[in-house]
């Protein structure tokens, strides 16, 4: 009997892209995907370990699934991705509702792990496979407008707060040819937007082809002329002027860069082992803005990292004032066991202080975004319609090339259309307009 599989994906875009690869692998084995947990014979949780509350979410989900297993004893549950890679076989002790575990490098082993679990054999494959990039597996995508294309996996940096190197292993880059083949296929299939993915795409390098990320981006732009090309995530110490000039030279490469800074204090950047100072970051921002007029820049910010003083915090706020990020992902520091910070740095900023500083960062970001978005009123923007707006069925939601969210009157347009929209209102996160 055909087995139905429900995959629940947590965390980052890389996990979403992995789920598309896993779907392909399991469909090749004759499994059928289902959106409903209730009709599934197998539930797979593709997990994220980047913050403590991410792990709590998984444990709560497993507890809920235990209830379902009491009603359906043949229901299988697999936990894959960064949480089992992080906690390893200890996970079996954290919940008795798990039949198998797999890490980000061992998805090719899933059919065997599932087969064993069907015979009551609980198993785990959490090996790091340094050369694994899942090249040759055609992802099964859910959408038809935007597509993620992972170009590399893992990270060789060792930021003191980060678990990624321990869950996704060392960096390895996909062969340039396999990336460009996939980009060409997406263009032929009519995708309007392609996002190249990696934990630190700037350090992409295909040894055999001698191809770095700037060249890969340029080739992708030429291979998919009708599509918008995006990429994420960059590391400030690795972003080069040659890459920025490629963005400036190609209309279909979106003029927006996500450049996580984490803190505005050079002292904190040192403790975080980010490999650059505040000044060096600002020089990169100046270079980017010099090369790409009108570029938008977003970032990641952590409040309350080990040893952070009020002075360090104010330096983060002043950096935000100076750069004026379009938006930022903001968090307060939570200890991740196994990281350098967990082992060697005291988590000495009180939670109350972390939360207050985070609130100040969020309030400042909303003020800046609100001003930047209000300045767009009266302008006309090219918006790629992505879906119906959550606000009203009479409106569509999409984004500009600069990654700004726009909600606009639907008229005769549909998702996938590139629409000229005149902006007549704004909030700190959304532009509102009417087709021109
Ligand atoms: S660059 Fe730093 S923060 Fe980003 S994934 Fe690598 S170790 Fe983590």
- The response to whether residue 200 sits with its C-beta less than 6 Å from ligand 1 reads yes
The fold adopted by the segment(s) 146-373 is: pyruvate-formate lyase- activating enzyme (3.80.30)
pLDDT at 16 over 70: yes
Domain positions in the chain: 3-125, 146-373, 380-435
Phi-psi group of 273: left, alpha or beta (phi > 0 → left; psi -120 to 50 → alpha; rest → beta) = left
Return the pLDDT at 280.
Answer: 98
CB atoms within 10 A of CB 166: 18
Element (H, E) at 354: helix 351-374
Which atom from ligand 1 is nearest to the alpha carbon of 233?
Answer: 4
Does residue 235 have its Cβ closer than 6 Å to ligand 1? Answer: yes
Confidence check: pLDDT of 142 > 90 = no
Would you say residue 282 has pLDDT above 80? Answer: yes
User: Residues 147-173: pLDDT tens digits?
Assistant: 999 999 999 999 999 999 999 999 999
CB of 153 closer than 6 A to ligand 1?
A: no
> Domain 3-125's class?
alpha beta
Percent of the chain at pLDDT exceeding 90: 93
Window from 8-22, 58-72, 257-271 with minimum mean pLDDT: 58-72
Say what the pTM is. Answer: 0.95
Query: Is the pLDDT score of 52 beyond 80?
Result: no
The CATH code belonging to domain 380-435 is: 2.40.50
Fold agreement between 146-373 and 380-435: no
Which of 164, 197, 237 for mutating ligand 1's site (highest number of atoms within 8 Å of CB)? 164
Q: Separation of 336 CA from ligand 1 center, angstroms?
A: 13
Band of pLDDT at residue 2, cut at 50, 70 and 90: confident
Q: Classify burial at 401, counting beta carbons within 10 Å of its beta carbon; exposed 0-12, middle 13-18, buried 19 or more.
A: buried
Q: What is the band of 1 on the pLDDT scale with cuts at 50, 70, 90?
A: low
Q: Is 265 in the pocket of ligand 1 (CB under 6 A)?
A: no
* 199 CB near ligand 1 (under 6 Å): yes
Arithmetic mean of pLDDT, 376-388: 98
Which pLDDT band holds residue 394 (cuts at 50, 70, 90)? very high
CA distance 194 to 185: 11
Confidence class for position 73, pLDDT limits 50, 70, 90: confident
Instruction: Give the pLDDT confidence score for residue 168 in this predicted structure.
Output: 96
Residue 429, phi-psi category: left (phi > 0), alpha (psi -120 to 50), beta (remainder) = alpha
Which of 93, 97, 53, 46 is closest to 73 using CA atoms? 97
- 173 - beta bridge partners? 152
CA gap 174, 151 in Å, rounded: 5
Tell me how far the alpha carbon of residue 200 lies from the centroid of ligand 1, in angstroms.
Answer: 7
State how far the alpha carbon of 200 is from the alpha carbons of 10, 106, 214, 381, 385, in Å: 20, 21, 13, 30, 28
pLDDT of residue 405 exceeding 70, the answer is: yes
């Amino acid at each position: 009997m055909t087995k139905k599989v429900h995959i629940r994906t947590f965390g980052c875009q890389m996990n979403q892209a992995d789920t598309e690869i896993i779907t392909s692998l399991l469909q090749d084995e004759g499994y059928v995907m289902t959106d409903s947990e209730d009709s599934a014979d197998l539930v797979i949780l593709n997990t994220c370990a980047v913050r403590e509350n991410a792990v709590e979410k998984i444990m709560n989900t497993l507890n809920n699934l235990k209830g379902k297993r009491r009603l359906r004893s043949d229901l299988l549950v697999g936990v894959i991705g960064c949480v089992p890679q992080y906690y390893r076989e200890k996970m079996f002790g954290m919940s008795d509702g798990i039949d198998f575990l797999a890490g980000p490098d061992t998805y090719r082993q899933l059919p065997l792990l599932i087969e064993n679990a069907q015979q009551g054999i609980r198993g785990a494959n959490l090996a790091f496979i340094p050369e694994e990039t899942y090249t040759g597996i055609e992802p099964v995508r859910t959408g038809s407008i935007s597509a993620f294309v992972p170009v590399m996996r893992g990270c060789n940096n060792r930021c003191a707060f980060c678990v990624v190197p321990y869950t996704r292993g060392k960096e390895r880059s996909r062969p340039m040819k396999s990336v460009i083949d996939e980009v060409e296929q997406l263009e032929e299939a009519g995708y309007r937007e392609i996002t190249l993915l990696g934990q630190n795409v700037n350090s992409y390098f295909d040894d055999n082809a001698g191809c770095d990320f700037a060249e890969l981006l340029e080739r992708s732009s030429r291979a998919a002329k009708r599509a918008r090309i995006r990429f994420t995530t960059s590391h400030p110490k690795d972003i080069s002027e040659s890459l920025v000039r490629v963005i400036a030279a190609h209309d279909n490469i979106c003029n927006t860069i996500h450049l996580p800074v984490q803190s505005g204090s050079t002292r904190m950047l040192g403790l975080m082992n980010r490999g650059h100072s505040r000044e060096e970051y600002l020089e990169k921002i100046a270079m980017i803005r010099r090369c790409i007029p009108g570029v938008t820049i977003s970032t990641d910010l952590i409040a309350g990292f080990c040893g952070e003083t009020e002075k360090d915090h104010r330096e983060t706020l002043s950096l935000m004032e100076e750069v004026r990020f379009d938006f930022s992902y903001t968090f307060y520091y939570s200890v991740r066991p196994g990281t350098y910070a967990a082992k060697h740095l005291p988590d000495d900023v009180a939670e109350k202080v972390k939360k207050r500083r985070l609130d100040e960062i969020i309030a400042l970001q909303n003020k800046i975004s609100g001003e930047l978005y209000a300045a767009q009123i009266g302008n006309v923007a090219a918006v790629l319609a992505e879906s119906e707006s959550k606000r009203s069925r009479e409106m569509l939601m999409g984004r500009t090339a600069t990654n700004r969210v726009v909600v606009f009157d639907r008229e005769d347009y549909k998702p996938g259309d590139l629409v000229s929209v005149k902006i007549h209102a704004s909030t700190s996160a959304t532009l509102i307009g009417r087709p021109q």
